[in-house]
Amino acid sequence: MSEFKSGFVSLVGRPNVGKSTLVNQLVGSKVAIVSDRPQTTRTQIRGVRTTPTSQLVLLDTPGIHKPRTLLGERTNDRARSTLAEVDVVCLLVEATSAIGPGDRFVAELVQRVDTPKILVVSKTDLVTNAAVGKQLVAAVAELGDFDAYVPLSSQTGEGIDALVGELESRLEEGPEYYPGGVVSDQPETFVVAELVREKLLRVAREELPHSITVVAEELEPERDDDVLRYEVKVLVERESQKGMVIGKGGAVIREAGTLAREELEALLGAHVHLETKVKVDRDWQRRAHALDRLGF
């Protein structure tokens, strides 16, 4: 039998370059929420891709950006901390936009570590092959040395096999860190909270304050009841923001809750009931105690 290889891979880049979508594609299941809003990912999420010969543990990190709050500083620190602690680093840049200061800043951080590095040009389905080639040339010139360069589309799957091949070739023989069938190490309550936040971002769009966060707790089941019940709290920083989250006649929070519940039921294979509330936690992004309490 061939040796089993395993290792940890960190996906880094500026906000909104497609890290979460790529993790979901590699895992073959949704383990990270996605949105076109920058800084959607706020904590490190692990996705697990297991085959008969290898296991990739993929770390979806927050986009590295110029922070304006204590939360931003902490999410940056989380992303940076993975660089020297993994077996391979993937730096993502978009095929759809020119190499910018944010890309160069993250690339400089990546170049400081001895970890094997792969440059991924994402979202190639949105541009022509000529544009992809031009972006690769620009990246090679501006972002430093990498062990491999992979253009891909997480939407169409083009280039995914090439990336997997590059990653697996850099793994050492190792154990199966997670049992077969496990695609993430996140608890159900985290998944519930993140899906509600994702749906709120989708439903409310620009009206939704970026400073919302969502926490969930599992409730005790009712007698002779096989329904999974969760209390979901949507936290905002100002009293004036509650109306944006709730919507006219409760339309926004109701639609987001329905979308989240439907996806959760498909994911968990059981009926789900969400008790959703909107509360004010003033300036939570800027208070260390609040961030500690919320897991940031």
What CATH number does the domain containing 263 carry?
Answer: 3.30.300.20
Domain final position from 125, 144, 173: 173
**Given the DSSP bridges, would you call strands 228-236 and 272-280 parallel, antiparallel or unpaired?**
parallel
The encoded tokens of residue 20 equal 């979460």
Region for residue 257 given its phi and psi (left: phi exceeds 0; alpha: psi -120 to 50; beta: otherwise): alpha
One domain, residues 132 and 206: no
Q: What are phi and psi of 224, to 5 degrees?
A: 55, 40
Are residue 12 and residue 154 in the same domain, yes or no? yes
Q: Give me the domain span that covers residue 140.
A: 5-173
Whole-angstrom distance between the N-terminal and C-terminal Cα of the chain?
43
Q: 163 and 192: one domain?
A: no
Residues 161 and 221 in one domain: no
Q: Is residue 210 domain-shared with residue 153, that is, in the same domain?
A: no
Contact 33, 198 (CB under 8 A): yes
- 35 and 63 fall within a common domain: yes
Q: How many domains does the chain have?
A: 2
Q: Which residue has the tokens 């100002």?
A: 238
Strands (E), the chain: 5-12, 45-50, 54-60, 88-94, 117-122, 148-151, 172-173, 213-218, 228-236, 272-280
- pLDDT tens digits in sequence order for the chain, 296 residues long: 568 999 999 999 988 899 999 999 999 988 887 766 655 666 668 899 999 999 999 998 876 776 677 777 887 787 777 788 899 999 999 999 999 999 998 999 999 999 999 999 999 999 999 999 899 898 888 999 999 999 999 999 999 999 999 999 999 999 999 998 889 888 889 899 999 998 998 888 766 667 789 999 999 887 667 899 999 999 998 888 898 899 999 999 999 999 999 999 988 888 999 999 999 999 888 888 888 887 87
